[in-house]
Amino acid sequence: MDSEDKYLPGQQLDMSIFPVKEVEVEGIQMGVLNHGIPYLTMGGLSRLCGVDPTAISRLTTDWIDQRQKPRGRKIDAILQNKGLKLTHLYWPITENGSDARAYPSSVCMAILEYYAFESEQTDRTIALKNFRALGDTALRRLIFLSVGIDPENPQRGSWQAFQDRLQLNSQIPFGYFSVFVEMADLSLKMISGGFNFGPSAVPDISIGKVWGKHWLSSNLDEKYGQRIKSPHVYPEWFPQSKAGPIDVWVYPDDALGEFRRWMQQSYLPTKFPAYIVSKIKDGSIPQVNAATLLTQVKRPQLPKGN
């Protein structure tokens, strides 16, 4: 798992986490967070698994300790089979003025799988029934549909998402470029290659973070001038839009050649495949071949001597 590419508990984020939509369906509380990940509350997860909320609380309050115990080891093994090595299983959030916990759908499915097949101390009837009815993608779809976001609406597809974001963010301060606009060609090739460009898969955030670290470690401010912040706006149907315009770094035009070389020679060969694999594992995008997609997005090199 690449911690720069996964918005999961225990990872370093540059944004506060809060719900943008919450509903209750048949007693199960669920919602979508501002970075686009669907979640269940502790009460919702306990109802899904057919156990008392205190059981979920004991399991997840100190996950570092609990994953060394028999129940935690089994759940940790399920998570690691999904490619997830987590130090926390939930985000603390505020819900209706009270403290609550938001468990991402991937964690919910791992815990549900344990209670459906592994638990020997609880009645597994409810958990087994729900596990058979749901899969990782089915739970994500249920939550999105329940809060009014249809991931299968053709007007909410990858092309629409890209077009809407480009229209909202094409005005960059004169003399500067943004990572999102500059990678438009890459985004189009990714979409053509099967990438699900949408609220839960925003590759420019990953690229922007890695490029920002390269910028600082290479002291590029001294070479090209200071980078500045500029507002980035998400379409209103993106959950991220509830946070309003987000300030992102934009960079001096003089550094554009450096960015393009860095993309082709550094990011795409070393970071891009891991990003694609991580998005497949957490269910954000359908199965695509990372190696094939890499060949589609890399620019051809001229023969030597030209």
Alpha-carbon separation of residue 227 from 2, 171, 220, 248, 252 (angstroms): 26, 16, 9, 10, 6
Query: Rounded to two decimals, what is the model's pTM?
Result: 0.50
- Residue 97: partners with Cβ closer than 8 Å, 6 or more residues away: none
CB atoms within 10 A of CB 96: 7
How would you write the pLDDT of the chain (306 residues) with one tens digit per residue? 333 334 577 655 545 677 877 788 878 888 888 767 889 999 999 999 999 999 999 999 999 999 999 999 999 999 998 888 888 999 998 877 788 899 998 899 999 999 988 887 677 788 888 777 676 567 777 776 666 555 555 334 677 777 888 888 888 899 999 999 888 888 877 777 667 777 767 788 889 999 999 999 999 999 999 999 999 998 887 777 777 888 999 999 999 999 999 988 898 888 888 887 777 676 555 565 556 666 656 555 545 555
Helix or strand holding residue 167 (H, E): helix 158-168
Q: For residues 264 and 240, is the Cβ–Cβ distance under 8 A?
A: no
- Residue 71: partners with Cβ closer than 8 Å, 6 or more residues away: 59, 114, 118, 119
Residue 208 in tokens: 């922007």
Sheet with 246-252, edge to edge strand ranges: 176-178, 246-252, 228-232
Domain definitions of the chain by residue range? 19-146, 154-297
